[in-house]
């Protein structure tokens, strides 16, 4: 595997590494403007000379990716359906983005840490977090439902780009302790305009933290297209300004995403610093269930992107490799249906909420003032219950 091996042509002339006359701080070059692709739209392997030095993952690995993507899509569709039925308050779907989400997350080791956003529920599911725990926030039970330490996966961050700094900080801590741990974070295309994205890229570059940034370019920030976020040729181009290797990747090619993220994570764990990877994909669903995309994009665009479907592409390749026998397909579908069913069942079950928990875990230390407010609420609830019993209202 090579990193930014070639000098890249921009504006028709050869670009040289960034520092001719200044002291060389980091000899990085602009990413190749041709997105890295290992399997093309038609499901055929890209010729070796166009692979930018990356190797196609093994057929077994590709099958594993495919299986996880099928399960993820089925699950995402199920959750969207449950949301339409009113079981969830909101759900930001990642339909169409499976190659980026799954290709990235399956490259992580158990000991690595993931710092996701609200968009990345399918990545969490693939990382092995229980669906109800993932959906706790979207159903409205509790902000975040799983134990981050148990899954080495932080909470889904809603304040855009803030989690990228957490990933850098944890990477720094791991580096200081000498642990071979990498951190990976997703950042949306819109979120790259936030100051925290800049600060995270820069801190990671200066500190050389073991951090992999996945810019998940799904073309829209709610309604706002990428052209209104940046004048840059690609978002990956920014990397050069931080002295960090940057890659521009076809985010609908699971093979390419997985190969490059695996390489970047290896690099991170061996102490060679951060990598910024832009994965170009498309958000097929609305931003969330309460969004109306017909106000800002045409359905022909969506149709066009559906024709570049990441699952179909990998499927075609695997069929050509004779990896997708009927038995394999069936087992994949069974897995997917099982996950959907489990989620349906768990999400349809009623959960009880303890209002007294509101006052727990605000602080580690006991607070008398909070105890008073807790007692107040407890008394109010008790009084209501007593009144209901008194008036014969069943509770």
Q: Which residues bind another protein (CB under 8 A)?
A: 115, 142-144, 147-149, 154-155, 159, 162, 164-174, 176-177, 183, 195-196, 199-200, 202-203, 206, 357, 360-365, 367-369
- Of the pair 123, 181, the CB lying nearest ligand TPP is at 123
- Report the nearest approach of ligand TPP to the CB of residue 79 (Å): 15
Catalytic: 287? yes
- Which residue among the candidates 139, 238, 287, 313 is catalytic per the annotation? 287
**Contact, 126 vs 258, CB < 8 A?**
no
Cα separation, 56 vs 38, in Å, equals 6
- Contacts of residue 233, defined as CB under 8 A and 6 or more positions apart, other chains included, come to 10, 33
Helix or strand holding residue 82 (H, E): helix 59-84
Instruction: Find the part of the chain contacting ligand TPP (CB under 6 A) among 214-222, 232-240, 303-311, 372-380.
Output: 214-222
- Of the pair 89, 302, the CB lying nearest another protein is at 89
Q: Which residues inside 262-301 make contact with ligand TPP, applying CB under 6 A?
A: 283, 287
Catalytic: 166? no
Binding mask 150-179 for ligand TPP (x = CB under 6 A): --------xxx-------------------
- Which residue among the candidates 73, 267, 283, 313 is catalytic per the annotation? 283
- Report the nearest approach of another protein to the CB of residue 100 (Å): 23
Instruction: Find the part of the chain contacting ligand TPP (CB under 6 A) among 49-57, 189-197, 251-259, 346-354.
Output: 189-197
- Of the pair 368, 392, the CB lying nearest another protein is at 368
171 binds, among another protein, ligand TPP, none (CB under 5 to 8 A by kind): another protein
289 binds, among another protein, ligand TPP, none (CB under 5 to 8 A by kind): none
* Contact with ligand TPP (CB under 6 A) among 153, 208, 209, 218: 218
- Report the nearest approach of ligand TPP to the CB of residue 204 (Å): 18
Cα separation, 280 vs 139, in Å, equals 29
Q: What are phi and psi of 217, to 5 degrees?
A: -85, 95
By CB under 6 A, residue 190 contacts ligand TPP: yes
Catalytic: 296? yes
**Contact, 151 vs 126, CB < 8 A?**
no
DSSP conformation class of 106: T
**Residues of 38-49 as b/e, b for ≥16 C-beta within 10 angstroms?**
bbbeebeebeee
**Contact, 277 vs 214, CB < 8 A?**
yes
- Residue 163 forms beta bridges with which residues? none
- Residue 115 forms beta bridges with which residues? 185
- Which residue among the candidates 296, 353, 367, 371 is catalytic per the annotation? 296
- Residue 249 forms beta bridges with which residues? 36, 279
Cα separation, 270 vs 132, in Å, equals 35
Cα separation, 116 vs 77, in Å, equals 20
DSSP conformation class of 224: E
- Of the pair 146, 248, the CB lying nearest another protein is at 146
Cα separation, 192 vs 235, in Å, equals 8
Instruction: Find the part of the chain contacting ligand TPP (CB under 6 A) among 23-31, 217-225, 350-358, 383-391.
Output: 217-225
Positions annotated as catalytic residues are 283, 287, 296
């Amino acid at each position: 595997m090579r990193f930014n091996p070639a000098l890249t042509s921009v504006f028709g002339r050869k670009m040289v590494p960034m520092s001719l006359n200044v002291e060389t701080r980091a000899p990085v070059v602009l990413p190749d403007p041709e997105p890295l692709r290992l399997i093309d739209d038609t499901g055929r392997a890209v010729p070796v000379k166009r692979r930018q030095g990356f190797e196609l993952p093994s057929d077994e690995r590709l099958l594993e990716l495919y299986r996880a993507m099928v399960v993820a899509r089925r699950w995402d569709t199920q959750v969207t359906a449950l949301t339409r039925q009113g079981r969830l308050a909101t759900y930001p779907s990642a339909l169409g983005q499976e190659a980026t989400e799954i290709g990235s997350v399956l490259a992580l080791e158990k000991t690595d840490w993931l710092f996701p956003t609200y968009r990345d529920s399918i990545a969490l599911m693939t990382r092995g977090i229980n669906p109800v725990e993932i959906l706790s926030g979207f159903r409205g039970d509790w902000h975040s439902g799983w134990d981050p330490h148990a899954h080495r996966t932080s909470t889904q961050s809603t304040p855009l780009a803030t989690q990228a700094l957490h990933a850098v900080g944890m990477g720094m801590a791991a580096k200081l302790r000498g642990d071979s741990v990498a951190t990976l974070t997703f950042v949306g295309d819109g979120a790259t305009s936030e100051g925290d994205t800049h600060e995270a890229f820069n801190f990671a570059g200066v500190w050389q933290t073991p951090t992999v940034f996945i810019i998940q370019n799904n073309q829209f920030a709610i309604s706002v297209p990428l052209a209104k976020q940046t004048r840059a040729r690609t978002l990956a181009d920014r990397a050069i300004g931080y002295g960090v290797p940057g890659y521009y990747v076809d985010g609908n090619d699971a093979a390419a995403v997985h190969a490059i993220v695996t390489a970047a994570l290896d690099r991170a764990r061996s102490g060679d610093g951060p990598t910024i990877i832009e994965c170009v994909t498309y958000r097929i669903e609305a931003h969330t269930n309460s969004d109306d995309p017909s106000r800002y994009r045409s359905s022909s665009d969506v149709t066009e992107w559906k024709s570049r479907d990441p699952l179909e592409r990998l499927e075609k390749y695997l069929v050509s490799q004779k990896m997708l026998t009927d038995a394999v397909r069936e087992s994949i579908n069974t897995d997917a249906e099982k996950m959907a069913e489990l989620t349906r069942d768990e999400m349809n079950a009623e959960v009880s909420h303890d209002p007294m928990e509101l006052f727990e875990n605000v602080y580690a230390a006991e607070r008398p003032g909070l105890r008073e407010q807790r007692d107040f609420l407890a008394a109010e609830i008790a009084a209501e219950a007593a009144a209901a019993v008194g008036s014969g209202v069943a509770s």
